[in-house]
Structures are given as C-alpha cells and as structure tokens.
Chain A
C-alpha cells in the first residue's frame, strides 16, 4: 500500500519558534509538494521539489523554507512561526511528468500560539 506519511498529526508551537514538518513517501516519486489548507481558500501551494536538493517556490512561499536532501523526504521549515501560519499542512508526491495523480499525506494541523 503506497504511502505518504507526515511526522505529526497535531502540533502546537509558540510564536517565534522554529518549526519542522517532515514528509516521507515510499513510492520513489520524483516530485514532492507542500500545501496549506484553510477554510474557504482550498489548497495553496507553498513549495515544491522536482528532484533531490532542488526546490521551487509555489504561490505562498513567504515565511517558509524547504529541504530535500533525500528523494523520499521533503521537509517544510517555519523559521520563526507566527499566528497567521496556524493551518493544516498537507504534503503530496507524484511521479515525474505532467498531470499525474498526487498522493497526499494525512496532514499536520499546526497551531501557533
């Protein structure tokens, strides 16, 4: 059974803390994505990666960075968490080529106090 796993389902952090969200996929996919999901806004792309050590900004990259040191792992980093980053964060992966199915993790609900 193919899987995308995320390190935490729920996370509570304080303003100013550095936050790491980890995502691992076991499908040998080249492409990985980080989204945030907010009510009424759907999913918005933060960053994506088409290969190891490679990253591209999505629609809302401000306040975030990413790391992809290994093919199966894609990390999202909040350098200094703020309350407006309270959200659901979803990781996804897909094989290379356009228009392929994205496989999603279960999400991490992050609350920044």
Chain B
C-alpha cells in the first residue's frame, strides 16, 4: 500500500537558517504530493502541493519539488523565521486509495 516516510524530528534551527525536511514515498501510479503545516493549537492547513513529476510547489517561502526518479518531495526554505515553528506533515493522494496518506510529522522549532 501507499506510505510516506519523513525525516524524524524534532528539528531545532536558529532564525535565518536553511531548512530541509526530507520526505520519500511509496505509491502505485502517479500520486499527488502535499505538505501540510500544523501551528500550535490548530488543525492542519495546506502549505503547498504538486500534482505531477518535476512540478514545484511553493508558498510562504517554502518549496518542494516532485521527484519521481527518487520518489521524494523534500521541503526547503532558505531562511526560517520564529513564526515557522510548527509540525510539518508530508502526504500523498493516490487514486487507488482515494485518501490522503500522511507521514509521521516533523516538529520544527526556530529560535530567535
């Protein structure tokens, strides 16, 4: 079945540092890929998505590129802020499963 493996946390960075959170997946067919973010005390919200190979999703300075050859969708940001502190979830949607499959989440803490 479908699965998502993402980088174990927690991750602690200083403000303005470079961020990478790794995400790899296993799926049949050609899934759509997502990054969701959960700020403290809130539900998840969509951060970015990509629906086909080589697509790049971007939002709020975050980027991720759909790499079919490495089955990866790594999240990057060039300069993190304290307000980026949250839990980040990688997810995929495949037509065969008709549901989102989530990774385990990565807690990010950014220190001033």
Contacts and interface: CB of A to CB of B under 8 A. Distances in A.
Our verdict on whether A and B bind, yes or no, reads yes
Contact of A90 (B4, B44, B51): B44
Nearest to A4: B43
Nearest to A109: B41
Contacts of B49: 99, 101
Contact of B104 (A40, A45, A104, A105): A40
Nearest to B95: A98
A38 to B, nearest CB: 9
Contact of B43 (A41, A58, A90): A90
Contact of B93 (A90, A99, A106): A99
Interface string A70-113: 00000000000000000000101000001101111111000000
A21 B43 CA distance: 15
B104 A42 contact: yes
Interface in B98-112: 98-100, 102-105
Given A90-B44, A99-B32, A105-B43, A41 B104 contact: yes
Contact of B99 (A41, A58, A101, A103): A58
Contacts of A104: 43-45
B46 interface: yes
B42 interface: yes
A43 interface: yes
B89 interface: yes
A98 B98 contact: yes
A9 B45 CA distance: 17
A95 B95 CA distance: 15
A42 B102 contact: yes
A41 B98 CA distance: 20
Contacts of B95: 98
Interface of B: 4, 32, 41-46, 49, 51, 89, 93, 95, 98-100, 102-105
8 nearest CB pairs, A to B: A104-B43, A99-B32, A42-B104, A43-B102, A42-B102, A99-B93, A104-B44, A101-B46
